[in-house]
Structure 1
Amino acid sequence: MLYDINWFESRVQLTPKDIAIIDSETKESWTYEELYERVIKVSNFFHTKGVRKGDRVAILAPNHISYFDFFFASMKIGAIFVPLNWRVAKAELHYCINDCDPKVIGVNPDFKANLDAAETNGTYITIDTSNYIDDLYYEQATFDGNLHEEDPLAMIYTGGTTGCPKGVVLSHKSILWNALNTIVSWGLSKEDTTLTCLPMFHTGGLNVLSLPLLLSGGKVVLLANFDASQVIEELLQYKCTIAMLVPTMYHMMIETKTFKTATFPDMKVFVSGGAPCPYKVYEAFSKKGIAFKEGYGLTEAGPNNFYIDPKDAMHKLGSVGKPMLFNDIKIMKDEEVITTVDEVGELYIRGSHAFTYYWNRPEETKTTLIDGWIRTGDIARQDADGYFYIVGRKKDMIITGGENVYPLEIEHWLEAHPAIDEAAVIGLPDEKWGEAVVACIVTEKVLTVEELEDYCKQQLTRYKVPKQFFFLTELPKTDVGKVNKKTLKLKYSNHTDSTIS
């Protein structure tokens, strides 16, 4: 299928005077028409700098209007938009730049030093304020619009916790269908407003709500840095109707005085994603009568894949719901057999929103994309009513004494303790058990190992009770707020003595 005009331009024609983007820091706002004018300038600049179909344009900046300038300009030209992670180490950032070889790189001055010694022939643009486009030199260009739906539009690098980051290539089709599926399944409209405070170098910041809301004609409010109290104030000020945050952010929010007094009169639903959400977060929103639900996705698929009515979320606690309208889900056991009710297995996803391939990694593409299905590496189950639950990462499963243990069940129980803020369960090498179940916890008050053991035995089968407890002031996090279990395993890999026989 060829596109004569992209969906953004069609949206501009439909609602040119409606507000599209608001910068919460500067209080600037742009209508769809004004955003389009910016996109044309950036498109012409890219073209003047030799950017053509298939070339990469990168950005290294906090959440900012320039993300949309670059993204929609890439859509117009047929270039590939590459948002770079400014939280990673310099060596990892340089790897990504060398890997994608961008023709143009937009850089916020705060991150310019991160690019020192980076090997690239790309043209640098300084992105300091929204007026950066006034300094761009360009000549008027003609764009043929000869774009195929399978052409790549964006490349988002994964976190790299298991090796070098992988560039996940998303086509025009995959991004459009994720947005369409979200709008239809979640009931989004031009009356909706969201606050995007997840970093837009991550699929959660870009694809969960920002692009779907722009397709539907809604409003996107940008926040560059996360502060729990400020997020609540911005949600209230801009009358946001839907928001997506990760569990770590919600945990910080519910502890604030601002949250305890806020009522969120305009909010339809809060969505949690990125990692399984602790039940205490559900309870905090439930006590205030605020709709809250959990989602699931990954950079390679969507990332929106499920829908659950917030009314069902509390009595289907921890469920991500049922598949959205335009994607298929199955759970596989041993790569060949579909699981039965409540049986765990690996989650597979199929749909037009799926990624196309990993950049420069054909072999990894082949092992992840199987006959059109994405192997997610996540373990899940489906109950008798058709609701899906994410049990944990396949790589995080612990085999202790021949028994399979999924850390999430233990983590949920530990975090239900009133004195425990956060918990992460890992498996460590153990001569007796093969792997020992170990818990790393952050507590509000001193707890003894005996108290924790007794508490765990109330709910957990004996072999699931942690054999050691490590007390931390804070759990290490990845650049998108997930608990970094790789760091914990490295830190405690020599602590193999069991405390429970």
Structure 2
Amino acid sequence: MRCELDWIKSRARLFPKDRAVVDSATRMEWTFEDINNRAEKLAAYLLEMGVKRGDRVALFAPNDISYFDFLFACMKSGAIFVPVNWRLSEEEVEYILEDATPTVVGVHDSQATLVEKKKDYVIVPITNAAYVDGLETSVKTVDQMGTESEPLAMIYTGGTTGKPKGAILTYDSIRWNALNTIVSWNLCKEDTTLTCLPMFHTGGLNALSLPVLMAGGTVVVSKVFEAEQAVNDLIQYNCTIALFVPTMYHMMIRTEAFRRATFDSMNVFLSGGAPCPLTIYRAFHQKGLQFKEGYGLTEAGPNNFFIHPDEAVKKPGSVGRAMVFNDVKIVKDDGGECPAGEVGELLLRGQHVFSFYWNNPEATQESLQNGWLHTGDLARQDKDGFFYIVGRKKEMIITGGENVFPLEIEHWLSSLEGVNEVAIVGLSDNKWGEVVTAFVSLHSTSSLTEEDLREHCALKLSRYKIPKAFHIIDELPKTHVGKIDKKALQANDVNQSSSHHS
């Protein structure tokens, strides 16, 4: 077993009795020795079930100790960990299972209905934290660990056509994201974080949970996000650093608990997942709390920048400069580098970048060019070298930290008889960052209502993809070349139709 790859085993050897993970709901605690022992037991079970190096092992669970069990068991056994977004529709879940073809699937009690139809894999029921004790195995040694460049995890991210893409993260990319974060952000074993972001996302798993564990700190896992409870957990567990998306902060700053709290143990609050409204910056600044935002994506870490909280006050909205072990540049359409102040596409480079998209060489080739990851996001750099994320090159909408691609919704709505044209845009919203909004024109003979459109969406789309508002208009505006003019729709936000909001 290579210690530089099996770092959780090394942590358990060095600091066996240090507290590693806490479940905020049950208050159960696990030491590094506990975490390593659980992973070794599960890894042995995976081998017993015939899992070979490179086989996929999926997990359907709310935030839970099982994420660490499965990730580290895959690390020890050479399998590829596939955490699945259980918020997806049945059709999307089915697509991922068919694409990933897992050998073993861990299923938390709360998610059992999602996978019960399929029987071509072994199911590990996760009834409670003690499920590991019930796994029977005769395997004594686990020695299938992969090499630095082999896949360790596959995290599905949205595709422009609505089909999720499995981004392959190697042992090295996950390790370098953690090391880069520890060194750049000065994490240490005294740090404690609260993880409310879903751990099937890179934000919940890789942004802070793994770096804090690698640094020897403690991760407090919360199954569901509830604003008042999150504030209380931060205080109760003496958290020092935490990451939330702007929607979560929007709800937190309105609680009585936040108004009362002084957060004596907190060093810094981090925001990610979407551009953060300045109202949230102000709420923290007024309480004398350090607050800043970052930028990342599944394919790169997700950590890429560092900004000192003092600089974040002077440059609100900036994500700072590139971290110690990665490079960043902004390029024009012709590939030339943008001068300060000019907006272009953000490119990233480093050992933390993903290797390829599973079963999707075309998308891989489009994203990875000449050693650089083309993010599809637009950014600018000021004269001091600080980066600002400006928007998305493609029309992706980020609502409450979830990525939504308009084309998928447009195609589905267009399939409804009576619909003429559809445009889906993101309109800015203080709470959600953006709200998915539909503009629809109907055929002259159609009697469809907004409720009909909403019900049609609910047949196929995940809840967060269903437009919050439907505007039925006579004709969608067009550009001079005849394309639907989405910019015009966003500029003329239909304020008078606010009663259409669901």
Smaller-chain TM-score range? 0.7 to 0.9
Q: Which residue of 1 aligns with 2:102?
A: 102
**Identity rate, percent:** 51
Deviations 1:382-417 (A, max 9, x none): 00000000000011399xxxxxxxx99x94xx85xx
* Structure 1 SS opposite 2:377: strand
Letter in 2 for 1:340: P
Moved more, 157-166 or 233-242: 157-166
Once the two structures are TM-superposed, the CA of residue 329 in structure 1 deviates from its matched residue by 0.4
Once the two structures are TM-superposed, the CA of residue 314 in structure 1 deviates from its matched residue by 1.7
* Structure 1 SS opposite 2:495: strand
Using the size of structure 1 for normalisation, the TM-score is 0.82
Q: Which residue of 1 aligns with 2:495?
A: 469
Deviations 1:406-448 (A, max 9, x none): x99x94xx85xxxx986659897513676254678xxxxxxxx
Could you tell me how far apart the structure 2 residues matched to 1:94 and 1:82 are? Answer: 14
Q: Which residue of 1 aligns with 2:231?
A: 232
Change (3 A) 1:423 1:111: closer
* Structure 1 SS opposite 2:164: coil
Once the two structures are TM-superposed, the CA of residue 135 in structure 1 deviates from its matched residue by 1.8
Matched, 1:56 2:56: yes
Matched, 1:247 2:246: yes
Once the two structures are TM-superposed, the CA of residue 93 in structure 1 deviates from its matched residue by 0.5
The within-5 A match list for 1:198-277 is 198-277=197-276
Could you tell me how far apart the structure 2 residues matched to 1:355 and 1:19 are? Answer: 30
Residue ranges of structure 1 left out of the alignment (5+ in a row)? 399-406, 441-464, 477-501
Letter in 1 for 2:311: D
Q: Which residue of 2 aligns with 1:117?
A: 117
Q: Is the 8 A contact 2:246 2:432 kept in 1?
A: no
Matched, 1:430 2:430: no
Q: Which residue of 2 aligns with 1:187?
A: 186
Q: Which residue of 2 aligns with 1:493?
A: none
Deviations 1:296-336 (A, max 9, x none): 00000010000000001121110000000000001010142
* Structure 2 SS opposite 1:231: helix
Deviations 1:19-72 (A, max 9, x none): 000001111100001111111110110010001210111110101111111110
Using the size of structure 2 for normalisation, the TM-score is 0.82
Matched, 1:159 2:158: yes
Q: Is the 8 A contact 1:3 1:149 kept in 2?
A: no
* Structure 2 SS opposite 1:350: strand
Once the two structures are TM-superposed, the CA of residue 466 in structure 1 deviates from its matched residue by 3.2
Change (3 A) 1:236 1:342: same
Could you tell me how far apart the structure 1 residues matched to 2:377 and 2:98 are? Answer: 30
Change (3 A) 1:439 1:194: farther
How many residues end up aligned between the 2 structures? 436
Q: Is the 8 A contact 1:425 1:437 kept in 2?
A: no
The within-5 A match list for 1:473-488 is none
Residue ranges of structure 2 left out of the alignment (5+ in a row)? 398-424, 440-475
Once the two structures are TM-superposed, the CA of residue 471 in structure 1 deviates from its matched residue by 5.2
Change (3 A) 1:166 1:186: same
Q: Which residue of 2 aligns with 1:38?
A: 38
Change (3 A) 1:52 1:335: farther
Q: Which residue of 1 aligns with 2:456?
A: none
Q: Is the 8 A contact 2:53 2:144 kept in 1?
A: no
* Structure 2 SS opposite 1:207: helix
Q: Which residue of 2 aligns with 1:197?
A: 196
Change (3 A) 1:474 1:70: farther
Q: Is the 8 A contact 1:174 1:352 kept in 2?
A: yes
Letter in 2 for 1:320: V
* Structure 2 SS opposite 1:357: coil
Q: Which residue of 2 aligns with 1:130?
A: 129
Q: Is the 8 A contact 2:328 2:348 kept in 1?
A: yes
Letter in 2 for 1:269: V
The within-5 A match list for 1:357-376 is 357-376=356-375
Once the two structures are TM-superposed, the CA of residue 181 in structure 1 deviates from its matched residue by 0.3
Q: Is the 8 A contact 2:11 2:216 kept in 1?
A: yes
Could you tell me how far apart the structure 2 residues matched to 1:242 and 1:373 are? Answer: 30
Change (3 A) 1:79 1:261: same
Q: Is the 8 A contact 2:58 2:81 kept in 1?
A: yes
* Structure 1 SS opposite 2:297: coil
* Structure 2 SS opposite 1:147: coil
Q: Is the 8 A contact 1:270 1:292 kept in 2?
A: yes
Once the two structures are TM-superposed, the CA of residue 117 in structure 1 deviates from its matched residue by 2.6
* Structure 2 SS opposite 1:204: helix
Q: Is the 8 A contact 2:106 2:125 kept in 1?
A: yes
Could you tell me how far apart the structure 2 residues matched to 1:89 and 1:361 are? Answer: 22
The within-5 A match list for 1:60-79 is 60-79=60-79
Letter in 2 for 1:466: N
Q: Which residue of 1 aligns with 2:455?
A: none
Could you tell me how far apart the structure 2 residues matched to 1:14 and 1:261 are? Answer: 39
Change (3 A) 1:183 1:132: same
Once the two structures are TM-superposed, the CA of residue 132 in structure 1 deviates from its matched residue by 0.6
Once the two structures are TM-superposed, the CA of residue 287 in structure 1 deviates from its matched residue by 0.5
Once the two structures are TM-superposed, the CA of residue 144 in structure 1 deviates from its matched residue by 3.0
* Structure 1 SS opposite 2:394: helix
Could you tell me how far apart the structure 2 residues matched to 1:172 and 1:18 are? Answer: 24
Q: Is the 8 A contact 2:58 2:83 kept in 1?
A: yes
Once the two structures are TM-superposed, the CA of residue 354 in structure 1 deviates from its matched residue by 0.3
Change (3 A) 1:122 1:475: farther
Change (3 A) 1:427 1:335: farther
Letter in 2 for 1:109: D
What's the RMSD between the two structures over aligned residues?
Answer: 2.5
* Structure 1 SS opposite 2:220: strand
Q: Which residue of 2 aligns with 1:309?
A: 308
Moved more, 337-346 or 138-147: 138-147
Change (3 A) 1:77 1:422: closer
Q: Which residue of 1 aligns with 2:167?
A: 168
Once the two structures are TM-superposed, the CA of residue 133 in structure 1 deviates from its matched residue by 1.1
Deviations 1:198-256 (A, max 9, x none): 11000000000000011000000000001000000000000000000001100010111
Once the two structures are TM-superposed, the CA of residue 4 in structure 1 deviates from its matched residue by 7.2
* Structure 1 SS opposite 2:303: coil
Q: Is the 8 A contact 2:76 2:145 kept in 1?
A: no
Change (3 A) 1:4 1:220: closer
Once the two structures are TM-superposed, the CA of residue 260 in structure 1 deviates from its matched residue by 0.8
